[in-house]
Structure 1
Amino acid sequence: MQSLYPLRFEPILKSMLWGGQRLPALLRQSWPGRQSIGEAWLISDLPGNATVVSNGHWKGATLRELLQREADRILGQQQQQWRKAGQFPLLLKFIDAQRELSVQVHPDDEQAARMGAGPCGKTEAWVVLDRHPQRSRIYAGLHAGVTEASFRHALQEGRVAETLHDFVPQVGDCLFLPAGTVHALGAELLVFEIQQASDVTYRLYDWDRVDPVTGQPRPLQVEQALACIDWSRGPCQPVQPAVAMQGSLRREGLIHCRYFTLERLTLFGPAAVGNPGSCHILVALKGTTLLEWEGQTESLTAGDVLLIPAALGIVHLTPLSEPVTVLVCGLGEETTG
């Protein structure tokens, strides 16, 4: 049996009209031309967009091919729901929004199934990596008292922005966006996104802009979007993390939901990361650290993303520069009923 190891993947770069030029540099990737890059898909198992292993024995294999052969050792014996699904349950991205994204909403699992939108809905979370202190805003949730009728009226009059809760984000802010939440990233924002493995987006409003390629406005999916909005959900505020110091390690619990977990670690010295038999993904945000497992080592620096198979479980990180900041992404817990 071939041993597993921390897996690197080739990111998939996506050109978007609202994108910028920061992602190739962050990922140390070359990108020909001056097309705007909006997203880098870091870990993906979506059809037609499966990321490819870039290191070690499994180099050249897609994440889908790897799961077909090693699902138990990658996902873990306890992750029955994800193994039965036959697809890696998360999609991880970096997003460079030089201009505002559309005002949009995503379906939940039941809505996605009913609307023929794929095998799952799209609950997601953002972590702000960089922003413009004056021009960047995040739009998340509706103002209290906004109803479907008043929202439709605002749509007709081009006043959608007035219905949205918005705030000036700070670097480090984490925002949890359950399916059904109306939201939009504002301009000049660089974020990390973790989400369910879905690419379904229903646009409500696109700031009256025109796609320079087609010369036409981008299509909207207003009725589908309205059918997915959770009208009971009001303004969304940044997460207040649960903070704990463990020696030279600062842990911030950010998200713990049925689909994924997200934690931010700040290391001032060596630390063990992960749990026995659990799959997790390390996203390096700041500094350089030495990752150790089973007597082997590999460096991890800002922009690096590594999938740690459940067969490894725990790895050890030793900062080579201090402090080191790493996000730890995990799979959601088993659900019943």
Structure 2
Amino acid sequence: MTFYPLKFTPLFKYRIWGGEKLKAHLNKDYTETNIGESWEISDVENDETQVSSGALAGKTLKQLINEFKGSFVGEAVYQKFGEAFPLLIKFIDAKTPLSIQVHPSNEVAKERHNSFGKNEMWYVMQADDEAELIVGFEKKISKETYLKHLDAGTVLNVMHHENVTAGDTFYIPTGRVHAIGAGVLLAEIQQTSDVTYRIYDYDRVDAKTGQKRELHNDLALDVLDFKPQDSYKTTYNLAPNVSNTLVHSPYFKTNIIDLKGNVNKDYTNIDSFIIFMCVEGEVTLTHNTKDYSIKMGETLLLPAAINNISLASNSAKILEVYY
């Protein structure tokens, strides 16, 4: 098989808090309303994205891994995960705030849900004036005090609120309480998991069901990390035309490339697939003399067997993600 850069057909997800920015800003093609998430690359059961074009069109990640193994995901990745793809890649548009939530660790998720945990990161692509994210607790708090605020409906008062603009980046390890606020459009990179413990949801009713959404406070309580951090936002350099470290965790590595001109990339020493998410501008990726366009809001996967490509743009920013 002669591998080529792969695009997948996104899956669009209705969310009570979804808006229109995925269509208006990222040119996503859907007719539904309240679409909050575009799942770009997914191996979640019953939500598997398929290759959109070329000789491998229609194939899912599991089918590709089953057929090509380490040549597709990297030998080390295949040895660790088998036919499971380790990452879930999304764009998210919050017209209204998401619920206050937390995700369990690998160990807890495996025991309770036979799933991976959900360590994740956010890269803000656009934010309305005064838009904010909620990440972690503002001050040290005991479990007892937290429960009092939860019962009183004042739990928002003890969270850390941070106004955000384009380029702001946050790593959300399991156990850290968090929520995307109204008016934020972002890229999300996470472990392959759809396990979320919802803590507080503004007492709102889902128009589709006529019901309030389920809360999971009993499950959440023993996974919450109550320890506050000095700073929650990730600091990073943005030198042009190089891979600047954004978030390197045990679960994924993400760099950002501020592309101005042409760059040749050699991935021989990275034993993994590479995922590119275009978060600003438009990029032309060239492999074997063929050009592939990656526009803002598009995602492309490079099989591990492809080592050499070039990237070109007058001005663009792309996230470079691998295991």
**Structure 2-normalised TM-score?**
0.95
Superposed counterparts of 1:1-337, under 5 Å: 2-33=1-32, 35-84=33-82, 86-115=83-112, 117-134=113-130, 136-234=131-229, 237-243=232-238, 245=239, 249-273=241-265, 275-276=267-268, 277-319=271-313, 322-331=314-323
Q: 1:140 to 1:48 in 2, by over 3 A?
A: same
Q: Residue 289 of structure 1 contacts residue 324 of structure 1 at CA under 8 Å; is this kept in 2?
A: yes
Q: How many residues align?
A: 321
Identity of aligned residues (%): 34
Secondary structure of the residue aligned to 2:261 is coil
Deviations 1:187-227 (A, max 9, x none): 01101000000000001100121122233221100010111
**Structure 1 stretches lacking a partner, 5+ long:** 332-337
What code does the residue aligned with 1:99 have? T
Q: 1:66 to 1:251 in 2, by over 3 A?
A: closer
Secondary structure of the residue aligned to 1:91 is strand
Output the aligned Cα RMSD.
1.6
| 1:27, distance to aligned residue in structure 2 (A) | 4.7
| 1:288, distance to aligned residue in structure 2 (A) | 2.4
| 1:139, distance to aligned residue in structure 2 (A) | 0.5
What code does the residue aligned with 1:300 have? I
What code does the residue aligned with 1:46 have? V
**Structure 2 stretches lacking a partner, 5+ long:** none
| 1:91, distance to aligned residue in structure 2 (A) | 0.2
Determine the C-alpha separation between the residues in 1 that align with 2:34 and 2:67.
36
**Structure 1-normalised TM-score?**
0.91
What code does the residue aligned with 2:300 have? L
